[in-house]
Amino acid sequence: MKNQYQRFVLTRAGQAVVVVLLAYVLTFLVISVLPGDSITNSLRDPQRGLSEEEIQRIVAFYGLDKPVVVQLVLSLGRFLSGDLGFSLQSNLPVAQLIGDALPSTLALASSALALAVIFAVAIAYGAHYLPGKWASLLRSVPSLFLSVPNFVIGLVLIELFAFRLHAFTTIDTNSAAATVFAAVTLAIPVSAPLAEVFIASLDHESRQEYAVVARSRGLSEARLFVQHLAKPSALPAVAMVALIVGELLGGAVITETIFGRDGIGTLVQKAVTGEDQPVLQAVVSLSAIVFVAVNLVADLASPLVDPRIELREVVDA
């Protein structure tokens, strides 16, 4: 069993590395085939004040005077060594820009994920145990959460809690209160698929023989949920958490814009507007790494949490 799990880990890790490399290559090629030369055009902007010698030195660094394949090899080599290049707008290292913006986005995304899990568990528990119409109402909540765009949710929260109730201020965007409301904005649509999966799993597990036996022995529904139903019902939701990381990263861009937060979303927005190719390449590649890493952890944890998973079938798939 130990050797089989080690083989499983190596297989999944190898697949993760391949996915990250393919994401980097695809991003580079998509940006490279766009019309125009954003790097050279930016460098030759008179406002930059660069001499022809300085421009040629930067062109040589990025390999713009070489074929696309050579540019890709040079760029990939720098990326693998941790060199993300320099921003064309600020002339600062891209790694520094991402390092400055990352803490705000991490605080927002982690808070939103925690709130999404809480919302999902509360909705699923109420949908399963509350009587009659209340349970039916809660079962329709995930569809409502999915149907409302998060920018609408954010604007409503800002209008109600910032301008009317003064619970937070839009000036201090990184305050604890502002972060909580931004996280709620991002968590509401993210919690919907989690709640739907958890509700379906809870319905399935509650009909199993072990649950029927536990009830026949007088175990209360609350203890039955905590001791017997929560863990097996949560397993599909754990896999779903890994899948919604992409939604968290994408939603963070919109949420940060609405709440005026200086994070990765703002960095991407400025990079797109200014055609800052090195920043775009780095952010997309690092986002792919985060997404793949979270899914890898979920894959590796699943056999340890649920012994019903057959490693042989997973490895051979």
Q: What would the two tokens of residue 304 be?
A: 């340890």
- Comparison of pLDDT for 45 and 278, the residue scoring more: 278
The whole-number pLDDT of residue 1 equals 56
pLDDT tops 80 at residue 267: yes
What does the pLDDT look like over 96-136, one tens digit per residue?
A: 999 998 888 888 988 999 999 899 989 988 888 888 788 88
Average pLDDT, the chain: 82
- Comparison of pLDDT for 171 and 50, the residue scoring more: 171
The whole-number pLDDT of residue 315 equals 47
Q: How many Cβ atoms are within 10 Å of 240's Cβ, its own excluded? A: 19
pLDDT tops 80 at residue 193: yes
- Report which listed range, 61-75, 156-170, 270-284, is most confident: 156-170
Cα separation, 164 vs 150, in Å, equals 20
The whole-number pLDDT of residue 36 equals 56
Over residues 285-303, the mean pLDDT reads 81
Cα separation, 301 vs 289, in Å, equals 18
Q: What would the two tokens of residue 178 be?
A: 């502002």
Cα separation, 234 vs 63, in Å, equals 50
Q: What would the two tokens of residue 102 be?
A: 């990352």
pLDDT bracket for residue 314 (50, 70, 90): very low
pLDDT bracket for residue 313 (50, 70, 90): very low
Annotate 109-158 with DSSP letters as a single string: HHHHHHHHHHHHHHHHHHHHHS-HHHHHHHHHHHHHHHHS-HHHHHHHHI
- Assess if CATH 1.10.3720.10 describes domain 106-274: yes
Query: What is the pTM for the complete model shown?
Result: 0.78
Domain chopping of the chain, boundaries: 2-80, 106-274
Q: How many Cβ atoms are within 10 Å of 39's Cβ, its own excluded? A: 20
Q: What would the two tokens of residue 166 be?
A: 């003064």
Q: Is 86 helix (H, G, I), strand (E, B) or coil?
A: strand
The whole-number pLDDT of residue 40 equals 64
pLDDT tops 80 at residue 242: no
